[in-house]
Amino acid sequence: MKSKFIIFFLAICLSMIACKKENTDVPKEDSYKQYFQANIAGKPINIAGNISTPRNIFHGSWTILGNSDGTNNEMYTVNVQVPKDVLNTKIGSKLQFQIFDIKTGEYLLNSKIAFQKDFSTHIYLVTELGTAGSKTYTTDESKKAFKISILKYQKPKDGSVPFVGGNLNGVLYNTKDLQDSIVIKDAAFEVRF
């Protein structure tokens, strides 16, 4: 009886050792760095990071919209949290730009209502979001067009989320007072996630 117990005990120990999986995963370093840099209202902003950077500060999102005729349109949206010291606000401001049917090329924006539509090419900036003092800035038909240049729209070989990069230059106007504006100058970005 004692020998059966020892054999049983050894068999259990051997099976535990044999089944133990050694962790051979090598941590993959995320080499892709995304960034947004600009001069907003005369002050520099420079945000850089990788996939582990908090997405509420800077991120992009890619959407494919299927049409009834079997074709599709790709849309890319970039969101940037502008630090509160850049526009002298109590909380960070939100800058969003979106390109519908995205391709490399130049986009001239001047619609004052496009930012209110889900599937549009637009840019807007909101200060003091969620407060009574909130202001929305966007383009306007009566003013010079805001220019977004998409210089890079590249899909990786694995077919996943594309790399998007380009430049922004122009003026955004307060939707309630065209005398109040914010200049975005020499902006450059590249984003994937």
> Is 46 among the domain residues?
yes
Q: What is the full per-residue pLDDT of the chain (193 aa) written as tens digits? A: 555 544 544 455 545 554 444 444 444 555 788 999 999 999 999 999 887 777 788 999 999 999 999 999 999 999 999 999 999 999 999 999 999 999 999 999 999 999 999 999 999 999 999 999 999 999 999 999 999 999 999 988 887 889 999 999 999 999 999 999 999 999 999 998 7
Query: Is residue 75 classed as helix, strand or coil in its secondary structure?
Result: strand
> What pLDDT sits at residue 158?
83
Single pTM value for the model = 0.82
User: Rounded to an integer, what distance in angstroms lies between the CA atom of residue 30 and that of residue 184?
Assistant: 30
Q: Is 110 contained in some domain?
A: yes
User: Of 64, 35, 6, which is closest to residue 163 (Cα–Cα)?
Assistant: 35
Residue 42 lies in a domain: yes
HSE at residue 120, side-chain half, CA atoms within 13 A, is 15
Q: For residues 25 and 58, give the distance between their C-alpha atoms in angstroms, rounded to a whole number.
A: 29
Contact between 90 and 128 (Cβ < 8 Å): yes
Residue 51's pLDDT is what?
72
pLDDT of residue 131: 94
Q: Does any domain span residue 178?
A: yes
Does residue 101 belong to any structural domain of this protein? Answer: yes
What residues make up the domain containing 177?
Answer: 32-191
The number of folded domains in the chain is 1
Question: What does residue 118 show for φ and ψ, rounded to 5 degrees?
Answer: -65, -40
Q: Is residue 25 one of the residues assigned to a domain?
A: no
Q: How much is the pLDDT for 159?
A: 74
Evaluate whether residue 1 is within a structural domain.
no
Beta-bridge partners for 107: 148
Query: Is 12 part of a structural domain of the chain?
Result: no
Tell me, what DSSP letter sits at residue 22?
A: P
